[in-house]
Amino acid sequence: MSKTSSSPSHQMTSNHQDHFESPDYYQLDDLLSEEHLMIRASIRDFVKKEITPFIEGWAEKNHFPSEIVSKFGMIGAFGPTVPVQYGGGGLDYISYGLIMQEIERGDSGMRSTASVQGSLVMYPIYTYGSEEQKQKFLPKLASGEMLGCFGLTEPNHGSNPSGMETRFEDKGDHYLLNGAKMWISNAPHADIAVVWAKDEKGRIHGLIVERGMEGFTTPETHGKWSLRASCTGELVFSDVKVPKENLLQGKTGLGAPMQCLDSARYGIAWGAIGAAMDCYDAARRYSLERIQFGKPIGSFQLIQKKLAEMLTEITKAQLLNWKLGLLMEQGKATTPQISMAKRNSVEVALNVAREARQIHGGMGITGEFPMMRHMMNLESVVTYEGTHDIHLLILGADITGINAFS
Amino acid sequence: MKILVCITHVPDTTSKISFVDQDTVFDKTGVQFIIGPYDDYALARAVELKEQLGGSIMALNVGLAETEPTIRKALAIGADEAIRINAEPKDAFFVAHQIAQVVKGGDYDLILMGRESIDFNGGQVHGMVGELLGIPSVSPVMHLDIEGNIAKLSREIEGGKELLEVALPIVAGCQEPIAEWKIPNMRGIMSARSKPLNVLDPFEDEQKTVVENFVMPAAKSGIKMIDADNVGELVDLLKNEAKVF
């Protein structure tokens, strides 16, 4: 009897049993508390029950399983660091990292859904919102009763968000919002959007735009070859009247959305290593099962080289993430430090996915194994929340004191 | 409704099993421990019954300090309090005696546990507890509902199932599909931190069983294919090699 075999029946199930175990080559589990280990085990069980049996089917059919939103709410994957009084988990940043690692072990798209809700919607409302806004939105976002999205990127402004064109005017008893946002995770299913827009003076503010406000639409982005189990869309604002109480007053300027991105990028640093672990674990098992020339392919030097390099890179990234978690917890983590970890983890994950795919030979091409899906997902992850190159420049600016992109 | 759920702390189902000290002691090195899967069903049903009827859940484990992460998980899943009897669970009678003593001091309506542990798989404890307390014990219970003072349950029997109505209090050894396993959520894990986990000294009892040694089952041998026309060879192999008759 396996403890992870109680998956409900579902039309899109895969025949594969999920035997995932995370590598812990340097006994890094010793750095975690008993509670951290229970959190990781719980989210892993959740992913084995609710995500991995179905994910290949969802990704293949480009299907966002909207029922996952309330399930994430129930397990506590939304806003784990938000205090309990607002419906959050009241957990530390290591816990948050572990939750993201385990969810992205299942799928980067699923992790995107969770980290947008937690870091990019709940975080700004909790950090910059009024007490009324917190009471109104946070418990519903935490429980999954509401899904949120975050609007910063625009069709003409990706790496340069300060050039944004979305604007709002003060009309006395309301604000009038005009503009468009693009590449927005969760947008087509979102009940609210935290939108960043400029006022008449060109200063950036956050506004909470609610589904149903006249002139607000969220067309879906079609034809993605990546994050196919998560939904992506645009936010279009055409003379949207936003009530004044929906303005986030706590912070203005580009620093406000950037601070949200720091929190989300931290989650990605852990998450991407989850995807890497899944690929490594699959490759390790396969290399022992697959027989060629009369012996397991794991007995060949070139396969061993790949596995040894994968494990080395995963282990280094685990240590980096763990230390970054402590810095986050102490409020000491800097944006460049977070950039380094996000950038490193995604690169490690992309390389591990590709090597693991090669170890699987032709079998690695199919959805019987997770590598191709992770690999395609990671092409988004390496691009969103600061591209791979922009993170280099953030580090470069920190090292030299000279900003290369402004 | 006052429910006692007895949980075992057992090796995960995928653990590699080995023995030390001249094959007299199970080697715990590197082994992941979990709540016994059948006990986990019992706990899940207890949580559902509490949601439905109100009351409280006490989790009980007989084990040394190493079992506390497993007990914390039971608290995270939904037990309100826990007791750990600070002793190595020597054998079924020893454990049953400890449980019976706890029940005597606790006025419980329901004593739930798995139909068997998955380390030694004795399946004896629920019966012994019932006998020691002079109350009914039923196993393996697949459905359990409570109406007033009556437990309505169904039990697997040879070739069918038996429907029973039993007056509380009772002991039940549970198995699927009594409930679905519950995965602790983040809030449950946080609240488990502050729930009481009381450690009690063992109630004196003699040890009735002594392990002489453990023996691993023989490794599976390969499959021999015998031609359909060659029944004589098959009979010979079954008789002289496999020794099945």
> Model confidence over A295-342: pLDDT tens digits?
999 999 999 999 999 999 999 999 999 999 999 999 999 999 999 999
Chain B residues lying within 8 Å of A39, measured CB to CB: 186, 189
Q: Is the pLDDT of residue A16 over 80?
A: no
CATH of the domain at B108: 3.40.50.620
Mutate to test the interface with B, among A39, A78, A94 (most CBs of B within 10 A): A39
Contact A404/B at CB under 8 A: no
Which residues of chain B register pLDDT less than 70? none
Contact A15/B at CB under 8 A: no
Backbone angles phi and psi of A342, in degrees to 5: -60, -50
CB contact under 8 A, B190 and A77: no
Whether B89 is covered by a domain: the verdict is: yes
- The pLDDT of residue B83: 98
Whether the bond between A23 and the residue before it is cis, its omega within 30 degrees of 0, is no
Average pLDDT over residues A37-66: 97
CB contact under 8 A, A3 and B12: yes
Give the H or E element holding residue A109: helix A108-115
Which residue matches tokens 């494990």?
A: A311
CB contact under 8 A, B183 and A42: yes
CA distance A99 to A88: 14
Contacts of A212 (CB under 8 A, 6+ apart): none
Average pLDDT over residues A245-271: 96
Chain A residues lying within 8 Å of B118, measured CB to CB: 1
Chain B residues lying within 8 Å of A80, measured CB to CB: 186
CA distance B124 to B155: 16
How many residues in chain A?
Answer: 406
Token pair recorded at residue B27: 């080697």
Tens digits of per-residue pLDDT, A348-406?
A: 999 999 999 999 999 999 999 999 999 999 999 999 999 999 999 999 999 999 999 87
- The pLDDT of residue A225: 97
- The pLDDT of residue A387: 96
Long-range CB contacts (< 8 A, 24+ apart) of B45-51?
B45/B112, B45/B144, B45/B174, B45/B178, B45/B179, B46/B3, B46/B5, B46/B78, B46/B79, B46/B110, B46/B112, B47/B77, B47/B78, B47/B179, B47/B182, B48/B179, B49/B1, B49/B3, B49/B110, B49/B144, B49/B146, B50/B1, B50/B3, B50/B78
Whether B104 is covered by a domain: the verdict is: yes
CA distance A405 to A216: 33
How far A103 CA lies from chain B's nearest CA (Å)?
14
Whether B221 is covered by a domain: the verdict is: no
Average predicted confidence (pLDDT) for chain A: 95
- The pLDDT of residue B235: 92
CA distance A324 to A342: 10
- The pLDDT of residue A283: 97
Whether B30 is covered by a domain: the verdict is: yes
Whether B6 is covered by a domain: the verdict is: yes
Contact A76/B at CB under 8 A: yes
CB contact under 8 A, A1 and B37: yes
CB contact under 8 A, B187 and A19: no
Q: Is the pLDDT of residue A15 over 70?
A: no
The answer to whether the CB of A187 falls within 8 A of the CB of A193 is yes
Please tell me whether residue B162 adopts helix, strand or coil conformation. strand
Query: For A45, which of B69, B183, B193 is closest by C-beta distance?
Result: B183
Q: What is the DSSP letter of B222?
A: P
Q: Say what the ipTM of the complex is.
A: 0.89
Number of domains in chain B: 1
Average pLDDT over residues A196-204: 97
CA distance A121 to B64: 45
Whether B45 is covered by a domain: the verdict is: yes
How far A99 CA lies from chain B's nearest CA (Å)?
10
A199: pLDDT confidence band, cut at 50, 70 and 90? very high
State the count of interchain CB pairs (< 8 A) between A and B. 59
CB contact under 8 A, A19 and B14: yes
CB contact under 8 A, B69 and A76: no
The closest alpha carbon to A129, from A234, A248, A211, belongs to A248
Whether B133 is covered by a domain: the verdict is: yes
- The pLDDT of residue A10: 36
Token pair recorded at residue A16: 């594969």
The answer to whether the CB of A392 falls within 8 A of the CB of A320 is no
- The pLDDT of residue A298: 97
Contact A45/B at CB under 8 A: yes
Q: Is the pLDDT of residue A11 over 70?
A: no
How far A7 CA lies from chain B's nearest CA (Å)?
10
Cα A87 to its chain centre, rounded Å, is 20
Q: Is the pLDDT of residue A8 over 80?
A: no
The closest alpha carbon to A102, from A277, A229, A354, belongs to A277
Tens digits of per-residue pLDDT, A123-178?
A: 999 999 999 999 999 999 999 999 999 999 999 999 999 999 999 999 999 999 99
Query: For B193, which of A1, A35, A42 is closest by C-beta distance?
Result: A35
Q: Is the pLDDT of residue A7 over 80?
A: no
CB contact under 8 A, B186 and A46: no
Nearest CA in chain A to B179: A6
A1: pLDDT confidence band, cut at 50, 70 and 90? very low
Cα B162 to its chain centre, rounded Å, is 21
Dihedral sign from CA coordinates of A89, A90, A91, A96: positive
β partners of residue B233: none
Whether B178 is covered by a domain: the verdict is: yes
CA distance A39 to B67: 17
- The pLDDT of residue A349: 98
In DSSP notation, B77-139 reads: HT-SEEEEE-S---SHHHHHHHHHHHHHTT--SEEEEESS-SSS----HHHHHHHHHTS-EEE
- The pLDDT of residue B207: 81
